[in-house]
């Protein structure tokens, strides 16, 4: 869910501006899943731009405050959301923890890094939502550690229907600063893409596993 349309538009513009998101319908990127994709997203690039990372941390913290009040903890999903999660925790003056995809194979074999106590309220920070599966693994780890997950805030989502279904099944509230649909609209307005490319890129979201830019 998008809480603020103006924030969503500005976030999309900024991500395109710094090449955190690249669009290319003619020479698509290949995802690890095997899908051909006209979009590549690496929101960690935000950390290299002070003014933009300040904007992102402030907007996420505003949404957290509006949706949940002040939680006990901020949790980042490793590895992409560790940096932005720390920024959000810092501006909100809250403790920070992060969650690995799996437990470590050595040492204390932690999956969750940082200090926390049973029954503390936590908001999870993510940088990107595709299917939502990896994000929800982090949520399950937090719940198994007896933490109360209030919800998740992400910088960006592709908006796949399967992601909304997955979050609903796990009873996790998801909000994002921006989305793929809004990104395409802003890219068209700024002449980053043309009308034909807009149509091609819009079709990808409908069936990404079967998408072919030549069709």
CATH number of 5-198: 3.40.50.2020
Domain boundaries, the chain: 5-198
Q: What is the pTM of this model?
A: 0.94
- pLDDT recorded at residue 181: 97
Tell me the per-residue pLDDT of 154-183, one tens digit each, with 9 for 90 and over.
Answer: 999 999 999 999 999 999 999 999 999 999
Tell me the per-residue pLDDT of 4-38, one tens digit each, with 9 for 90 and over.
Answer: 999 999 999 999 999 999 999 888 998 877 888 99
Decide if pLDDT at 105 tops 90.
no
Tell me the per-residue pLDDT of 198-211, one tens digit each, with 9 for 90 and over.
Answer: 998 999 988 888 88
Burial of 57 (0-12, 13-18, 19+ CB in 10 A): buried
Strands (E), 54-187: 73-77, 96-99, 112-113, 121-129, 148-157, 174-179
Tell me the per-residue pLDDT of 64-76, one tens digit each, with 9 for 90 and over.
Answer: 999 999 999 999 9
């Amino acid at each position: 869910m998008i809480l603020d349309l103006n924030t969503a538009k500005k976030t999309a513009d900024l991500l395109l501006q710094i090449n955190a998101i690249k669009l290319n319908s003619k020479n698509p990127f290949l995802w690890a899943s095997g899908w051909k994709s006209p979009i590549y997203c690496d929101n960690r690039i935000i950390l290299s731009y002070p003014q933009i990372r300040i904007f992102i941390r402030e907007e996420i913290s505003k949404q957290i405050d509006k949706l949940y009040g002040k939680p006990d903890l901020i949790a980042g999903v490793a590895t992409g959301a560790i940096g932005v999660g720390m920024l959000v925790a810092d501006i909100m003056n809250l403790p920070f923890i992060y969650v690995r995809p799996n437990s470590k194979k050595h040492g204390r074999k932690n999956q969750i890094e940082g200090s926390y106590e049973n029954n503390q309220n936590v908001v999870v920070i993510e940088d990107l939502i595709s299917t939502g599966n990896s994000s929800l693994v982090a949520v399950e780890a937090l719940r198994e550690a007896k933490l109360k997950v209030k919800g998740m805030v992400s910088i960006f989502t592709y908006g796949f229907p399967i992601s909304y279904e997955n979050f609903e099944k796990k009873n996790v509230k998801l909000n994002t600063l921006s989305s793929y649909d809004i990104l395409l609209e802003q890219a068209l307005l700024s002449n980053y893409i043309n009308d034909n490319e807009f149509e091609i890129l819009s079709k990808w979201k409908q069936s990404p596993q079967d998408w072919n830019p030549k069709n």
